[in-house]
């Protein structure tokens, strides 16, 4: 830390522990985090503990105030000074509201920031900039049933009709059990926002008023587990004793919420978990936590917390008859990396997560000696009236990723485009088309 920066911190009420450590406020918490219950229940506090350990703090522990779904993570300096970080988990929308009224330094969200929130917070800087919008983990919304329910799969159209109250009995779905009992997260929840966006709103549906609502993910899951007629939606770490079913969207294959399918965001109900850090923030702990969350140590904590980390790994893919022959051949001889590159809406530019993933993919390629003709990029797109146009666009997307890798010394083996084949989402909605526009990375 330079003398000039240190003086700024001292003048703004911060005291530096040492030249290498983050400054400690004289009064109050070092960092205030508000937002998603999905993040705030366990993942956020675990990442905070990791950061405090990295800072060399001692006697790290959690304190629970009287208010539900709030925690204080506390550490102590060698000189005995307490360092407090507050985590309030009342739903994603509350995080953005707290940024606006300056009662939080960092917003935790289990959905992307809305245009209305972006506009309301524009005085804090561009919260869609790569530095501000930080994808910290991938989660999958699991559709859960009582373990005794024999149903194995559903599609997103059926889900919309079930949770809208239009499908009222299990027998209508070919199962058994009588009346369907609905369980859902509360209105403040990013989990609910995601389900509403991915399932209900896309089909012009609203959640049935008969649904039992929960602020706590754990309580919802346990309630479904105890109800033979129950169905609910939940973040992946909270399946607990319930049974997850496979989900299909449009022409996609039915997929279970497996880690590999969620990491690539192919699973229809996969979602990103975010930290939003105001670009104009002067709180050094906020930036430090965002940076720590992206580090290998931070991503290891993501995995142990039950979410899907963004650590790049190679996975084998079993060929099947639904794949085009060229893709089958690829899957017989190469392995797919657990990352898909996706693009900003209405743009050929990589989105913020893809920019983060570039560094991870490059690190994997170099660490594993794959820089010389061992990497193949495979592009996909959404359905077009002209299949040749879909093929061309899918290859152009792969070429956009190729340019970035070549800049960093990677000599490609091949670049291919498969057009609108093998969709992972319906092409009848903008969100599905965006998801189908993707680039896979394969290594030999």
* E strand intervals along 128-226: 133-145, 153-155, 181-185, 212-214
Q: What's the N-to-C CA distance of the chain in angstroms?
A: 44
Confirm whether 338 is domain-assigned: yes
Confirm whether 267 is domain-assigned: no
Question: Is-contact 442 376, C-beta < 8 A?
Answer: yes
The total number of structural domains in the chain stands at 3
CATH classification of the domain holding 160: 3.40.190.10
Residues 256 and 180 in one domain: yes
* Mean pLDDT across the chain: 91
Phi-psi category of residue 102: left, alpha or beta, with phi > 0 → left and psi -120 to 50 → alpha: left
- Residues 59-97: pLDDT tens digits? 999 999 889 899 999 999 999 999 999 999 999 999 999
What is the pLDDT averaged over residues 225-251? 94
Task: List, in order, residues 6 or more apart from 386 with CB less than 8 Å away.
Answer: none
Report the candidate in 147, 236, 245, 159 with the shortest Cα–Cα distance to residue 191.
236
Percent of the chain with pLDDT over 90: 75
CATH classification of the domain holding 324: 3.30.1330.60
User: Which pLDDT score is estimated for 357?
Assistant: 94
pLDDT band, residue 345 (cuts 50/70/90): low
Q: Is the pLDDT of residue 257 over 50?
A: yes
C-beta neighbour count of 5 within 10 angstroms: 12
Confirm whether 161 is domain-assigned: yes
Residues 220 and 103 in one domain: no
Q: Give the structural domain span for 357.
A: 312-443
**Residue 34 to residue 246: CA distance in whole angstroms:** 32
Q: Which of 151-160, 194-203, 339-348, 416-425 has the lowest mean pLDDT?
A: 339-348
Per-position DSSP letters for 208-246, written without gaps between them: -TTSEEES-HHHHHHHHHT-TTEEEEEEGGG-TTSEE-E
Residues 228 and 168 in one domain: yes
Confirm whether 346 is domain-assigned: yes
**Which of 288, 304, 320 is a domain's end point?**
304
Residues 178 and 291 in one domain: no
**Residue 195 to residue 269: CA distance in whole angstroms:** 8
Confirm whether 378 is domain-assigned: yes
Residues 347 and 298 in one domain: no
Residues 196 and 319 in one domain: no
Confirm whether 228 is domain-assigned: yes
**Residue 42 to residue 278: CA distance in whole angstroms:** 23
Residues 334 and 430 in one domain: yes
Report the candidate in 350, 371, 360, 359 with the shortest Cα–Cα distance to residue 439.
350
Question: Is-contact 367 405, C-beta < 8 A?
Answer: no
What is the pLDDT averaged over residues 282-304? 96
Residues 287 and 327 in one domain: no
Residues 218 and 128 in one domain: no
- Residues 129-171: pLDDT tens digits? 999 999 999 988 999 999 999 999 999 999 999 999 999 999 9
Report the candidate in 155, 117, 421 with the shortest Cα–Cα distance to residue 276.
117
Residues 108 and 225 in one domain: no
Distances (CA, A) of 176 to 96, 149, 172, 173, 443: 43, 8, 9, 8, 45
Confirm whether 183 is domain-assigned: yes
Residues 79 and 156 in one domain: no
**Residue 36 to residue 33: CA distance in whole angstroms:** 10
Q: Which residue has the higher pLDDT, 299 or 27?
A: 299
User: Which pLDDT score is estimated for 50?
Assistant: 98
Confirm whether 266 is domain-assigned: no
User: Which pLDDT score is estimated for 166?
Assistant: 98
Which of the given ranges, 205-214, 317-326, 418-427, has the highest pLDDT on average? 205-214
* E strand intervals along 50-105: 58-63, 70-76, 82-89
Q: Is the pLDDT of residue 3 over 50?
A: no
Residues 143 and 132 in one domain: no
């Amino acid at each position: 830390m330079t003398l000039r920066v240190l003086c700024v911190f001292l003048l703004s009420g911060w005291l530096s522990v040492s030249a290498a450590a983050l400054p400690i406020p004289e009064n109050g918490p070092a960092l205030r985090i508000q937002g998603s219950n999905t993040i705030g229940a366990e993942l956020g506090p675990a990442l905070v503990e990791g950061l405090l350990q990295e800072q060399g703090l001692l006697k790290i522990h959690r304190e629970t105030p009287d208010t539900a779904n709030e925690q204080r993570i506390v550490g102590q300096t060698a000189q005995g000074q307490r360092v407090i970080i507050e985590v309030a988990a009342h739903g994603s929308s509350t995080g953005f509201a707290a940024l606006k009224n300056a009662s939080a330094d960092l917003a935790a969200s289990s959905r992307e920031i809305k245009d209305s929130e972006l506009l309301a917070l524009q005085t804090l800087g561009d919260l869609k900039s790569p530095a501000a919008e930080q994808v910290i983990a991938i989660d999958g919304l699991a559709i859960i049933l009582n373990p005794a329910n024999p149903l194995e799969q559903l599609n997103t159209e059926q889900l919309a009709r079930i949770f809208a109250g239009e499908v009222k009995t299990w027998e209508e779905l070919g199962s058994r059990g009588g009346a369907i009992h609905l369980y859902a997260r509360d209105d403040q929840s990013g989990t609910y926002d995601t389900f509403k966006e991915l399932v209900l709103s896309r089909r012009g549906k609203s959640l049935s008023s008969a649904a039992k609502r929960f602020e706590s993910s754990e309580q919802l899951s346990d309630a479904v587990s105890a109800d033979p007629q129950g169905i609910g939606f939940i973040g992946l770490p909270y399946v607990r004793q319930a049974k997850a079913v496979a989900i299909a969207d449009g022409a996609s294959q039915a997929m279970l919420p497996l880690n590999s399918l969620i990491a690539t965001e192919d699973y229809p109900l996969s979602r990103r978990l975010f930290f939003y850090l105001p670009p104009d923030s002067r709180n050094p702990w906020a930036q430090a936590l965002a940076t720590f969350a992206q580090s290998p140590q931070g991503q290891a904590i993501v995995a142990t917390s039950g979410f899907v980390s963004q650590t790049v790994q190679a996975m084998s893919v079993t060929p099947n008859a639904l794949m085009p022959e060229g893709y089958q051949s690829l899957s017989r001889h190469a392995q797919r990396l657990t990352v898909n590159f996706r693009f900003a809406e209405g743009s050929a530019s990589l989105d913020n997560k893809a920019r983060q993933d570039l560094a991870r993919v490059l690190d994997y390629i170099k660490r594993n000696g794959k820089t010389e003709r061992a990497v193949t990029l495979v592009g996909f797109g959404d359905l077009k009236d002209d299949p040749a146009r879909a093929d061309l666009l899918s290859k152009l997307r792969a070429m956009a990723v190729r340019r970035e890798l070549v800049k960093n010394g990677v000599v490609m083996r091949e670049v291919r485009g498969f057009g609108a084949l093998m969709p992972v989402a319906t092409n009848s909605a903008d969100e599905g088309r965006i998801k189908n526009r993707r680039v896979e990375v394969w290594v030999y």
